[in-house]
Structure 1
Amino acid sequence: MTVLVVGASGATGSQLVTQLLHQNNSVKIIVRSPEKLPESWKSNDKLQIITASILNLTDSEMQDLVSDCHAVATCLGHNLTLKGMYGQPRKLVTEATRRLCKAIKANNLKSSVKFVLMNTTGVRNRDIDEPIFFAQKCVIGLLRVLLPPHVDNENAADYLRTQIGQNNSAVDWVAVRPDGLINEDQVNDYEIFQSPTRSAIFNAGKVSRINVAHFMASLINDENLWRKWKGQMPVIYSTAQNN
């Protein structure tokens, strides 16, 4: 299986690349600074490194990029700096999601392509009735005003829900929602829920980046798991961190 990973140089994206390679996938990544990548990646025959900025690609280049891909995974995010949060592109995640899906549809492939978006528990799945406390609703309202990255994450998920939907012939999707991300060296036990089991604002849980990457790779490679979560926004928590 050939998988395109966008955001592969990030903390979670790099873990996803490693998990996909371990599971014997052919992986394509698009990065702006390949010199920062692990040396082992550069000599791996299963890994194709493309040097570019995802939003600077033309529509034709984007279409070529995904033409042989069975799955696309995006771990894009905004750097936690003033420039990263308030500079351009403010719609990085949404625009990348929109353009990648547009390119997939333009290829008119015989079978649908899996699209896995890394999102956040701060974003609600509006396809279902997810309860939210009034205080959390107020804080999220402020985040929409004060933090453009939060709006970007919301809009990316909404694009998949409303524009791609549940019965698209070209794109099937899952939006994975981790809670507070932490670093760990090994995959350990984690749990998947349809909706958050705790407040993302006032009682946030934790999940390791490697666990998120393992779940995303498993979604791509395990057809039973994919069928279970297709068109949904599952939430992931590391078991040991939340007991």
Structure 2
Amino acid sequence: MTVLVVGASGSTGSKLVEQLLAEKHKVKVIVRSPEKLPESWTINDDLQIISASLLELSDTEISTIVSDCNAVASCLGHNMSWKGIYGKPRRLVTDATRRLCNAVTSNNLQSPTKFVLMNTTGNRNRDLNEPISFAQKCVIGLLRLLLPPHVDNEKAADYLRTQIGQNNNPIEWVAVRPDGLINEEEVTDYEIHSSPIRSAIFNAGKVSRINVGHFMASLITDDTLWEKWKGQMPVIYSTSH
């Protein structure tokens, strides 16, 4: 299996890449600063490193990159700096999702390509009746006004829900919603729910980045798990937190 991972140099994306390489899959990554990658990646024959900014690539270049990929995974996010939050590109995750999906569609492949998006539990799945409190609605409203990355995450998931939808022949998708992200060295037990079981704002749970990477890799490689969650926005929590 060949998988393209964007956002591979990030804290969660790197965990996903490591999971896929450990299972001996072929992995492509698009990174702006390849010199920051682990040395073990640069000498791994199963890893192809493409040095570029995704949004600066042409449509033809992206189509060529994804043409032999069975799956595409996006772990893109905004840097938690003033420039990262309020600078351009404001729609990094959404624009990347749209362009990658367009590239997959343009190749007219025989079987569907899996698309896995790392999202956030602060974003509701509007295909479901996910109730949230009035107080949380107020906070989310403020986040939309004050934090462009939150809107970007919402719009990226909405693109998959409304533009790709549930019956798109070229693309099947899952948007993974982690709760509060933490760092741990090893994969631990975790649980998956179709909707949040606690408030993302007032009673957030925890999940390790390596567990998120493990779940995303499992979705990509385990067809039974994929059939269970495709077209949905599962929420992941570490059970020890």
Same fold flag (TM > 0.5):
yes
Q: TM-score, normalised by structure 1?
A: 0.99
How far did residue 23 of structure 1 move?
Answer: 1.4
**1:161 partnered with 2:145:** no
Matches within 5 A, 1:132-147: 132-147=132-147
Give the C-alpha shift of residue 24 in structure 1: 1.4
Corresponding residue number in structure 2 for 1:65: 65
1-structure distance, mates of 2:44, 2:147: 38
For the residue of structure 2 that corresponds to 1:45, the secondary structure is: coil
Q: Which residue of 1 aligns with 2:45?
A: 45
Summarize the alignment of residues 48-127 of structure 1 with structure 2, pairs less than 5 Å apart: 48-127=48-127
CA distance, structure 1, for counterparts of residue 23 and residue 118 of structure 2: 19
Structure 1: 5+ residue runs without aligned partners?
Answer: none
1:101 Cα offset (Å):
0.1
Q: Which amino acid aligns with 2:184?
A: E
CA RMSD of aligned residues (A): 0.3
- Spell out structure 1 runs of 4+ moving beyond 4 A: none
Q: Secondary structure at the match of 1:80?
A: coil
1:11 counterpart SS class: coil
Indicate the SS of the match to 2:188. coil
The equivalent residue for 1:149 is 149
Aligned residues: 241
Query: What is the SS of the residue equivalent to 1:117?
Result: strand
After superposition, the C-alpha distances for 1:187-220 in whole angstroms (9 at most, x for unaligned) are 0000000000000000000000000000000000
Secondary structure (helix, strand or coil) at the match of 2:191 reads strand
C-alpha displacement of 1:104: 0.2
Equivalent residue, structure 1, for 2:20: 20
Matched, 1:33 2:24: no
- State the alpha-carbon separation in 2 of the partners of residues 177 and 200 from structure 1: 10
Q: Encode CA deviations 1:142-194: one digit per residue, 9 max, x unaligned.
A: 10000000000000000000000000000000000000000000000000000
SS of the equivalent of 2:12 reads: helix
CA distance in 2, matches of 1:38, 1:145: 37
Structure 2 gaps, min length 5: none
What residue in structure 1 maps to residue 223 of structure 2? Answer: 223
TM-score (norm 2): 1.00
Distance across 2 between alignment mates of 1:23 and 1:130: 35
Deviations 1:102-154 (A, max 9, x none): 00000000000000000000000000100111000010001000000000000
